[in-house]
Every structure is written in structure tokens, then in C-alpha cells.
Amino acid sequence: MAKHDTPMLDELENGPWPSFVTDIKRQAEKNPDCWDILGQVELSYKDRITHWKHGGIVGVFGYGGGIVGRYSDVPAQFPGVEHFHTVRVNQPASKYYSTENLRALMDLWEKHGSGMTNMHGSTGDIVLLGCRTEALEPFFYDLTHEMGQDLGGSGSNLRTPANCLGESRCEWSCYDTEEACHHLTMHYQDEIHRPAFPYKFKFKFSGCPNDCVAALARSDFAVIGNWKDDIQMDQAAVKEYIAGNIPSNGGSHAGKDWGPFDIQAEVIDLCPTNCMWMEGDELKIDNSECTRCMHCINVMPRALRPGKVRGASINIGAKAPILDGAQFATLIIPFIEVSADNEFENVIEVIENIWDWWMEVGKNRERVGETMQRVGLPTFIQVMGLDPIPQHVREPRSNPYVFWQAEEVPGGFDRDVDEFRKRHAA
Amino acid sequence: MGMSDDEIKAAMIEKATKAPKPQLYVKDFYKCDPDSKARKIKNLANELVKEGELMFWSSGSTTMYARPDRIKDEEGDEGVN
């Protein structure tokens, strides 16, 4: 039986899509505190202002992340949501669960919290919504001791690393994303659970440039699988695609009359660098011009595959904030070996170079991509100890100035200009 | 010779006690010993949390440090997480 009148929320149940209002009502039959969520949200719609207070000192002992404090600013009206903290639980790599695990986790959450969840947050965490402060420690004890699971990241911490399905399901994966994600999650437990940085920092691991985990758009440190030799090509399979004997795009365009497959229009003309052409009935690729867009491989997966010398590209500085200022990551390292054999030491070295610099130079609440923008890419590359390469250049220069470092000028910037002018009149 | 860990911690506690605002970013503690690496100051701040001298204050998106006696529960800010 509804505890509050919620005419505006009820409207949201009339559309064609599943409604969170219906879900909360269903949960409220089990946990009456959930009626107060609906009551407070209805009041927010009426007042056109949130009635959640944001932040606070909640947490579990020794952890500086994983729990986000939420308090109602109208607790007398809605006592069931006086405290309504969010708990982030680190998801397993690639989000593989057993139903047994999910049932046990939900039982635990119904015991200690509201029973409401959000699967998953944008960082990948299992998000458990609504818990009173005094229930946090008992929940955390059961989560860690009975379930063997741990909290994820929040605040100025390393956020819960996320990865695509990788080699577990995908033949295009250029490295073992699950192993990399798991290893670095364990390696950086301190950075996940205790604040370390000027602001949040996110890792994401994609196995190939299709980037199924959207690392390029969402993570401060994107490790995206790549290869450095030539695309593997099976000319016999190319002919089969052209003849229509193998459906293009794995058959995903089979539902309508798309017409016969046209390799020129559907593959070659769509190559962003025009690096493909036909010679007779053979497909040719100038691999030195390939930008790894993956389009040709996606269209003809049985004819084209990523190369054999596999690793990853490191892209740094993406962010996708809710309010404004979303930006893609910048390619910093075109190719790096990513191997569990050396415990991912190549990747770790790059990460720690960035952290050491960002922790010193980054301003409070400044993402690493914003720090890079502020100091400029040339400075960032220098800090990273890298040589500039063509891939760092987005477009040809549009101003005539050349900026030299002191060590690049004979005698540095302190040379005797009068002496110089004796030989070179101004 | 640089400051010992205990001396740096004492300076951090003093800073957290006397700062105009109760909540401090970890960066605010860097000046307690300019010769120390940022990571060391971060580790010392977290040790002070374990010892009960400081506590975490989180908006969800940003984490700050405060002296327990200078901050009350159920405060809000306008950050996003």
C-alpha cells in the first residue's frame, strides 16, 4: 500500500519502457523504507530541487572510498531515507558472475540495505543503493568475509578498473584484458581504497581498437589492444565474401534486403586512410597507412584479422563528466607489450610516471587530461620521457613559432648575445 | 637532514587543526614538508587516518581530510561523483 501520493512519478509508469518507479514500488512491498524514496523524489519534482544532501564522512574503517554518502534534507517527512548511502562493489573482471553469487549478494543487500541496486555503474561497479550508516560496517564484514568480495573506488582514488571480455570470448583481443585488469586491480589496492590523487583516475582495458569498454572516451588511462605488423589476410575468404558465400558483418545485415555485398562501397571506400584497393580479385592493404579503425575486419572477419605481433596502445586523458567538458584520450604510446609474464611492468612503469607527475602538478579536482591540456602536449611528452612521434600530431602546425628548449640551443639561453651579434648582425 | 615522519605528521595535524576550512585536500599537506614526495605525504595522511588523527570526508567525487573534532556528520557539498 503506497505511503505517499506520487501522481507525477506514476505518470512515468505509463510509457512503453520499464520504469524505475514500478521497480521501487515492487521493492517497497518487501522493504517499506522504499516508499520514502518515492515520496522524496515526488517532492523533488514538485519543488524542482534535489532533496539529497551529497557527501559526508561515511565509510568503513581504513577505507577512503567505495561508499558515497547520501542524506535526506527532509528526514522528518521521509525517515526511511534519512541515510541512503551508496555502496560500490568491485565487479569481477569482464562481469562474469554465477547466479549463486548474485543471489548471495542480493540476500546480503536485502539484509543490510534497501535491496535496490544499479547494475552497473559507469565505472563497472555493482552499485548498491541505500544503506544506513550503522549498517555499513556489518555489510562490509559480510561482503569481505563471506563473499570474498571488496569495495570499489570512489572519491580521489583509483576507480575500479574495468575491461572488455577480451580473450575469454573474442578472437580479436590483442592481449589478455582480464588478466591485466585483475593484476592491476590487485597491484593497486591501496590506491583504490585510499585517496591518492588530485581527483579521480580511471583505468580501462580494451582488447582491440573496437574498444568495447569505451576506454578511449571514458578513462584517464586507456589500454587498447593493437598490433604492429600487417593485418592477416585470407584472399580465398575475401573472394567468398565477394561472391556472397560468406555473409558480411557476421550476418548482422541479413534482416532486410541490403543487396549483394559490395566490397568497394562497403569496405574500400569507407577506409578512413584510403589504404585499401583491389588488384584484379585480390584485396591489397598498405598497412603503413592503416589507423586501426577495425572497419574492414568487422565487415569481413573470416578474411581479415589483427596482425600477429600484438600489444596495446596507451591513450591518456579522457573524461566524460556529466556537466561539461567531455574529451577523448590522446594517443601517447602507439605500441607497448602487455604481458603477464613480466607482471605488466611496462604498463606499470607508464602509470607510475604519470601519477608521480600528476600528483605534483595537478590542481585539486583536475583530471589528468585537464592537466595535460593546461601544460600542453609537448611538456607532457617531455615529462613522460618520450620522443615526439608523428602520431602525437593531430594536424599540421598553424603558427610559425618554434619553441626551443635551452638544451637544444648551443650555449643555452644564457649565451652572450653581444658576442653572437658580432658575428650575426640583427 | 630532512624532517622525520613524526615531524611531518605533527605538521600535518597542526595544519588540519588551524586551517580556516576543516576539510583539506591531500595537496594542501604538501607544504608541510616541501622536500617530501607527494606519494609519501599521501601515505602519511592515510596513516593519520588509521591513527584517528584525521578522517576522510568524501563528496563522492573528491576525498578530503579533516580533524574529527572539526567536522560534523551529514554535511553536503555540490560535487558530482
In sequence order, the β-bridge partners of residue A277 are A284
* Superfamily in which the A162-228+309-392 domain is placed by CATH: Sulfite Reductase Hemoprotein, domain 1 (3.30.413.10)
- A359/B39 Cβ within 8 A: yes
Does residue B76 carry a pLDDT above 60? no
Check whether domain B5-10+22-70 has CATH 1.10.10.10, yes or no: yes
**Does domain A7-145 sit in CATH 3.40.50.300?**
no
Q: Which residue has the cell 582495458?
A: A205
A232-305 placed in CATH 2.30.30.830: no
List the one residue out of A372, A226, A194, A205 whose CA is nearest residue A309: A226
Does residue B74 carry a pLDDT above 50? no
Q: Where are the domains of chain A?
A: 7-145, 162-228+309-392, 232-305
Q: Is A322's CB within 8 Å of B80's CB?
A: yes
Strand partners, B58: A56, B63
Number of neighbours of residue A239 by Cβ within 10 angstroms: 15
Does the structure show a pLDDT above 50 at B75?
no
Stated length of chain B: 81
Does A136 lie at the interface with B, CB-CB under 8 angstroms? no
Contact B59 A323 (CB under 8 A): no
**Given a cut of 90, is residue B77 above it in pLDDT?**
no
Is B80 in contact with A355 (Cβ distance < 8 A)? Answer: no
Q: What are the percentages of helix, strand and coil residues in chain B, rounded to 5?
A: 45, 10, 45
Q: How far is B35 from chain A (nearest CA, A)?
A: 12
Report the SS3 class of residue A301.
coil
Mean pLDDT for the stretch of residues B25-48: 91
Q: In one letter, which amino acid is A149?
A: Q
Residue B80 pLDDT > 50: no
CB contact under 8 A, B58 and A62: no
Task: Reply yes or no on whether the pLDDT at B81 is more than 70.
Answer: no
Q: Residue for cell digits 566524460?
A: A320
Tell me what pLDDT residue B1 has. 67
Q: List, for residues A69-108, the tens digit of each pLDDT value.
A: 899 999 999 999 999 999 999 999 999 999 999 999 999 9
Q: So what's the pLDDT on residue A249? A: 93
Pairs of residues, one from chain A and one from chain B, whose beta carbons lie less than 8 Å apart = 108
End-to-end CA distance of chain A: 90
Phi-psi domain of A280 (left: phi exceeds 0; alpha: psi -120 through 50; beta: other): left
pLDDT at B79: 39
pLDDT of residue A306: 97
Residue B73, pLDDT score: 53
What part of A 359-418 touches B (C-beta under 8 Å)?
359-360, 363-365
* C-alpha torsion angle, residues A103, A147, A153, A194 (rounded to 10): 160
Decide if A7-145 and A162-228+309-392 have a common fold: no
Query: What's the rounded Cα separation, in Å, for the pair A80 and A162?
Result: 33
Residues of A in contact with B25 (CB under 8 A): 156, 198, 364
- Write down the pLDDT at residue A193: 93
Contact yes or no for A103/A60 (Cβ under 8 A): no
pLDDT band at residue B72 using 50, 70 and 90 as cut-offs: low
Comparing CB atoms, the residue among A59, A73, A196 nearest residue B56 is: A59
Do the Cβ atoms of A282 and A235 come closer than 8 Å? yes
How high is the mean pLDDT in each 10-residue block of chain A (426 residues)? 91 93 94 95 96 81 89 95 94 93 96 93 92 95 96 93 96 97 96 91 97 96 97 97 94 82 96 96 96 96 97 95 85 95 95 94 93 93 91 83 83 83 85
